[in-house]
Amino acid sequence: MCVTDRQPADEDLMLAYQRGDRDVFDELYARYAKPIYNFFRRTALDDGTADDLVQKTFLKLHVARGHYRAEGSFRSWIFAVARNVLRDDARQRGRARIKKTDEFNEQISTDPVTQVRPNAEIEVMVTEALATLPLTQREVIVLNRYHGMTYAEIGELLGINANAVKQRAFQAMRTLRQRLSIDSERSGEE
C-alpha cells in the first residue's frame, strides 16, 4: 500500500470551497496570498495598499465562489480577480500609483558605501521604470517575469491572444531598456 503526500490541485480545493467546505479557504489563502501580494507590489503599490488589495481579492473570491468554473486554471482565475481589484482601486483613486522610494533615496544620501547593496540601486531603478509603464504593459511583465506565467496563460487572464501579449511584452521591454539606459547614463554623469 502506497501512501502519498500529494496535495490537492487548486481547482479541486476551489470546487470543495464552492460546495461549502470552508476549511479549504485557508489552504487557498496560504498558496496564493504571497504571489498576489507580490503582484500588487510589483505593479508599483506600497506595502499597505498591497495588503489591503490582497484582502479585497480574497473577499471577492469568497463572494464570487459560486461563479467559479474549473474550465481554466485556478491560478489564472485568481489573478484575474486580483487584476480586477487592482483596476477597481485605480479607478476609485482616479490616478496611477507610484511606489514610494523616499526611504531608499534617504539611505543613499546618508551613506551609500556602507548602507546600500549594489543590486538595491538597480532594483529601485527597475521598479521605478516599471512604474512608468502603462498598466497593460506593466501587468504583462509582472505576470511573466515575476510570476512565471506563460504568454498563453496571461492571454487567457487578460482576454487577449498570446500574440497580443507578446506584443505588449516587446513594447514594455523596449521602453524599459530605453529608460534604464537613460538612467544609467545619468548616474554615470554624476
Residue 83 contacts residue 154 (beta carbons within 8 Å): no
Q: How far apart are CA 10 and CA 77, in angstroms?
A: 11
Q: What's the CATH number of domain 9-98, 3.40.50.2300, 1.10.1740.10, 3.90.650.10, 3.40.50.10490?
A: 1.10.1740.10
Residue 17 contacts residue 28 (beta carbons within 8 Å): yes
**Residue 66 burial (C-beta neighbours within 10 Å; 0-12, 13-18, 19+):** exposed
Tens place of pLDDT per residue across the chain (190 aa): 454 567 789 999 999 999 999 899 999 999 999 999 998 888 767 888 899 999 999 999 998 888 888 887 899 889 989 998 988 887 777 644 434 334 444 443 444 443 444 566 777 788 788 888 888 899 899 888 888 889 998 998 888 999 999 999 999 999 988 888 865 555 555 5
Any idea where the domains of the chain sit in the sequence?
9-98, 118-190
User: Can you give the pTM of this predicted structure?
Assistant: 0.61
Q: How far apart are CA 33 and CA 56, in angstroms?
A: 11
CATH of region 118-190: 1.10.10.10
